[in-house]
Amino acid sequence: MESTAGTGPTSATRSITLHYFMTNLGLFGLLSTLAVSLTAAGFDGGRTGLLVLVFTIANKVSKVFLARWLDRISAARSVLLGCLTAAVGFMGLRIAGGLAATAATLALAGLGVSVNALASKQLAADASDRSGDRARIFSLINVAVNVASAVAAPVALFFVQRHEHGQVLTAVAAIYCLAGVTTYLNYRLLMPDTTVRAPDSSLRGYLTVLRLPGMRPFMLINLLGWCCYGQLFNALALHVSAVPGATDRLGWLYTLNALLIVVAQLGVTRVAETLSKGRGTVTTVAAYTSFALGFAAVYLLPGFPGAVVGVVLFTLGEMMFVPTMDVLLLGLLGQESRALGYGVFSIANAVGEGVGGGLGVAAYRWLAGSGHGPDFWLIATALAVVSAVLARWLSVTNGGLRSVSSREEPKVAAD
């Protein structure tokens, strides 16, 4: 039976967008209060940092080892498993005592978050296959994530400031439970056949993915993009904190970033697709160009106004870059394991953002120590320009990237 735009694909899009909103509502609520809650529980600075690191590693890295196994069950079941595991971990934090028990529950919660993140990507990919408009689905997801981030942090901090840390954890656990069960039930009806058999060896499977035509240059382009992204929450924070009277306005810049995405993401995606004629690599070059202009604005316009203009231009680039990477990845993967593909993809994202942010902080502090802090933004601008040139060159010279960029969007599939 053929799916119609008003049944399967539309319902699947609504379901996965709602799922991303709910789970990120819980996740951002936790992330914004975790360090404060751990400190309130009596952990000193070193132990609090260690516990946050445990959660981060479990959240970011475990999907690489789990992808092979998750490909053997339906993505809807993986979502349910991940959300319920995360919920158990969050609730465990309420009763955990001591460093070891708290670390164990945080690791369990991070494991669940990781499983859910990987399975959610698979469901989004399946929905995009059937909808015929991948860019729109991943743009909607980006909007949902930013709405969640804008809402979750202030609400969670409101309760934490009133010493109701346990209630925040309970709410996060309940949100994950609700999201997991709801999405599982929805996708059992919408997409019953989302299982893909993984390779016999996880290492062999990852090597197979990395050897796909165009995959390695794509990963490099993606990593450089997240290196640029890492400056938003690291070097920019240092820059604004050095502006007299602007430190207390740093939060407004991140709110501006989130609100711009919520308001303009779909429009930017539509315009970018029209101007690039659906060629994702062209949109990527435009995104890097916008990053470069944003960094240059911070350098050219002194003080807080330069940071505002920089964030606006940077956000424009982010709105082009993030959905396009998902679309290009799916085109390159073809029929290969999506769980393994997204496992590699997430590691590239984490490494790019982590290394980019860390090097950005180190470079900014070194330059600021000699009175040349603003010159850092010239280096960041050069990074974005080189990335744009490299992306353009690879899109022309690499056959895999060239073919996937010119490929038509998937048609609505038959059920």
Question: In angstroms, how far is CA 196 from the centroid of its own chain?
Answer: 23
* Cβ contact 120:145 at 8 Å: no
Q: Assign 414 to helix, strand or coil.
A: strand
Whether 112 and 89 have beta carbons less than 8 Å apart is answered as yes
Distance of CA 188 to the CA centre of its chain: 26
Contact 93, 106 (CB under 8 A): yes
3-state secondary structure string across 29-65: HHHCCHHHHHHHCCCCHHHHHHHHHHHHHHHHHHHHH
Task: 98-101: list long-range contacts, CB under 8 Å, 24+ apart.
Answer: 99/43, 99/47, 99/50, 99/51
Residues with Cβ within 8 Å of 29's Cβ and at least 6 positions away in sequence, in order, are 152, 153, 155, 156, 168, 171, 172, 175
Q: Do the Cβ atoms of 286 and 226 come closer than 8 Å?
A: no
Q: Hey, what amino acid is at 371?
A: G
Output the pTM of the full model: 0.79
Torsion of CA 308, 314, 316, 322, to 10 degrees: -140
**Residue-level length of the chain:** 415
Phi-psi region for residue 341, left (φ > 0), alpha (ψ -120 to 50) or beta? alpha
| DSSP letters spanning 122-138 | HHHHHHHHHHS-HHHHH
Q: Where are the alpha helices (DSSP H) in 301-337?
A: 303-333
Q: Which two tokens stand for residue 175?
A: 């949100």
- Closest C-alpha among 172, 163, 176 to residue 120: 176
User: In angstroms, rounded to a whole number, what is the distance separating the alpha carbons of residues 360 and 71?
Assistant: 36
242 near 253, Cβ under 8 Å? no
Query: Among positive and negative, which fits the CA dihedral 86, 87, 90, 92?
Result: negative
Rounded to an integer, what distance in angstroms lies between the CA atom of residue 50 and that of residue 329?
33
Residue type, 345: F
Distance CA 287, CA 77 (A): 35
Q: Report H helices in 191-249.
A: 202-210, 215-229, 235-241
How does pLDDT run along the chain (415 residues), one tens digit per residue? 333 344 445 777 888 899 999 999 998 888 777 877 787 778 877 788 788 888 878 887 777 777 767 767 788 888 999 999 999 999 988 888 788 999 999 999 999 998 998 888 888 888 777 766 788 888 888 899 989 888 887 888 788 777 787 888 899 999 999 999 999 988 776 655 444 444 444 567 778 888 888 899 999 999 999 999 888 877 888 888 788 777 667 778 888 888 999 999 999 999 998 888 878 889 999 999 999 999 999 999 988 899 999 999 999 999 999 999 988 988 888 766 777 788 788 888 888 887 888 888 888 889 888 888 889 999 999 999 999 999 999 988 887 787 776 654 444 343 3
Buried/exposed code over 209-244 (b: 16+ C-beta within 10 A; e: otherwise): beebbbbbbbbbbbbbbbbbbbbbebbbbbbbeebe
CA-based max dimension of the chain:
68
Asked if residue 38 lies in contact with residue 48, where contact means CB atoms within 8 angstroms, the answer is yes
